[in-house]
């Protein structure tokens, strides 16, 4: 064991080892004893340079093949027949069971940094009924994946996201963004909680910000429960960046329909 630890302590060996294991396995190796921890995890920059070499662990593809988590069929499209009965429509993706995890062709998840491949990153593969690549705009004009914060909380979030992205304003694209299944699940959990606990059908009579939500208006409260000024720009619950003001969303939607945001 002592000699194994000595081999692991050599950086070129560690670099080579990292390119054969997943990020989680590398992390687990670091936790096996004090000396491995010191070589792998004690310096954030060392760990970052090692984990960039890690392979994808194939879990994302396995989740798709087993309809686990967000790929659960109950959450997929419901099809209505001519008698208005409905049933879950399982996506038939012919190539799904022949797909392979591209272990060595992985890139880091935008949120947690774990390396994932094209087949394992999270998004629904079956063709969408309508093109809705952006988190906040949709054909039904329902308010989705949006939060509004009070001035103090908004400033705190802005300070956190500044410099983290190329674009200051949200440019999340459902099909293009590189995110692992676990992070997508956490995003959905946060989004649901905010929607259920911090938004209501309009009843505050202008005391807090409201946005048209399909045929109704919806009131938005901050995560700290404070009211929100009407001129506050909504934020994306995924990336936490600001969106354009909501009176420009129709123009964004028209640009999407014109194919400018969907390749
Ligand atoms: Zn993979
Ligand atoms: Zn992730
Ligand atoms: Zn607040
Ligand atoms: Zn976003």
Pairing outcome for strands 146-147 and 107-108: unpaired
- Predicted confidence at residue 255, as pLDDT, reads 87
Q: Closest-lying ligand to the alpha carbon of 224? A: 3
- Predicted confidence at residue 83, as pLDDT, reads 46
Distance from the alpha carbon of residue 149 to the mean position of ligand 3, in angstroms = 5
Number of H helices, E strands in the chain: 9, 9
Q: Closest-lying ligand to the alpha carbon of 55? A: 1
Cite the DSSP H helix spans in the chain. Answer: 2-9, 11-18, 23-30, 34-40, 44-51, 59-65, 151-161, 181-198, 249-257
Say if residue 46 is exposed, middle or buried (CB neighbours under 10 Å; 0-12, 13-18, 19+): middle
Q: Closest-lying ligand to the alpha carbon of 235? A: 4
Query: Is pLDDT at 95 greater than 60 in this prediction?
Result: yes
Query: Is pLDDT at 82 greater than 50 in this prediction?
Result: no
- Predicted confidence at residue 127, as pLDDT, reads 60
Query: Is pLDDT at 78 greater than 60 in this prediction?
Result: no
223 in Cβ contact with 149 (< 8 Å): yes
pLDDT-derived band at 96 (thresholds 50, 70, 90) equals confident
Distance from the alpha carbon of residue 14 to the mean position of ligand 1, in angstroms = 22
Query: Is pLDDT at 232 greater than 60 in this prediction?
Result: yes
Q: Closest-lying ligand to the alpha carbon of 179? A: 2
- Predicted confidence at residue 13, as pLDDT, reads 82
Q: Structure pTM?
A: 0.82
pLDDT tens column, 192-216: 999 999 999 977 678 999 999 988 9
Distance from the alpha carbon of residue 208 to the mean position of ligand 3, in angstroms = 12
CB-proximal residues (5 Å) to ion ligand 2? 109, 111-112, 180, 183
Percent of the chain with pLDDT over 90: 50
- Give the range with max mean pLDDT: 41-50, 117-126, 174-183: 174-183
Distance from the alpha carbon of residue 106 to the mean position of ligand 4, in angstroms = 22
Distance from the alpha carbon of residue 202 to the mean position of ligand 1, in angstroms = 44
Output the average pLDDT for the chain: 86
Distance from the alpha carbon of residue 191 to the mean position of ligand 1, in angstroms = 26
Query: Is pLDDT at 92 greater than 80 in this prediction?
Result: no
Query: Is pLDDT at 263 greater than 70 in this prediction?
Result: no
Query: Is pLDDT at 81 greater than 90 in this prediction?
Result: no
DSSP 237: T
Distance from the alpha carbon of residue 150 to the mean position of ligand 4, in angstroms = 19
Per DSSP, the three-state class of 113 is coil
Distance from the alpha carbon of residue 5 to the mean position of ligand 3, in angstroms = 49
- Predicted confidence at residue 128, as pLDDT, reads 59
> Domains of the chain: which residue ranges?
2-51, 60-116, 146-257
pLDDT tens column, 216-226: 999 999 999 99
Distance from the alpha carbon of residue 182 to the mean position of ligand 3, in angstroms = 27
Q: Closest-lying ligand to the alpha carbon of 104? A: 1
Distance from the alpha carbon of residue 242 to the mean position of ligand 4, in angstroms = 8
Residue 180, token pair as written in the block: 């692992």
* 52-66 average pLDDT score: 92
Distance from the alpha carbon of residue 140 to the mean position of ligand 2, in angstroms = 29
Distance from the alpha carbon of residue 143 to the mean position of ligand 2, in angstroms = 25
């Amino acid at each position: 064991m002592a000699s194994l630890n000595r081999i692991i302590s050599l950086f070129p060996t560690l670099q080579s080892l990292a390119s054969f294991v997943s990020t989680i396995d590398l992390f687990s190796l670091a936790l096996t004893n004090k000396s491995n921890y010191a070589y792998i995890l004690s310096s954030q920059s060392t760990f970052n340079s090692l984990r960039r070499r890690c392979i994808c662990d194939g879990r994302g593809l396995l989740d798709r093949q087993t309809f686990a988590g967000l790929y659960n069929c109950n959450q997929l499209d419901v099809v209505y027949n001519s008698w208005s009965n409905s049933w879950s429509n399982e996506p038939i993706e012919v190539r799904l069971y022949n797909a392979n995890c591209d272990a060595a062709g992985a890139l880091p998840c935008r949120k947690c940094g774990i390396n994932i491949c094209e087949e394992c990153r999270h998004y629904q593969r079956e063709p969408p009924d309508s093109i809705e690549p952006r988190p906040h705009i949709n054909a039904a004009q329902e308010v989705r994946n949006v939060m509004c914060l009070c001035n103090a909380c908004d400033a705190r979030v802005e300070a956190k996201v500044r410099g983290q992205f190329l674009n200051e304003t949200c440019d999340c694209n459902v099909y293009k963004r590189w995110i692992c299944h676990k992070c997508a699940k956490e995003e959905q959990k946060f989004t649901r909680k905010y929607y259920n606990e911090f938004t209501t059908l309009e009843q505050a009579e202008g005391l807090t910000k409201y946005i048209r939500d399909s045929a109704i208006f919806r009131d938005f409260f901050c995560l700290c429960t404070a009211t929100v000024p009407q001129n506050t720009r909504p934020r994306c619950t995924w990336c936490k960046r600001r969106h354009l003001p909501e009176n420009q969303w129709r123009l964004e939607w028209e640009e999407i329909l014109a194919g400018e945001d969907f390749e």
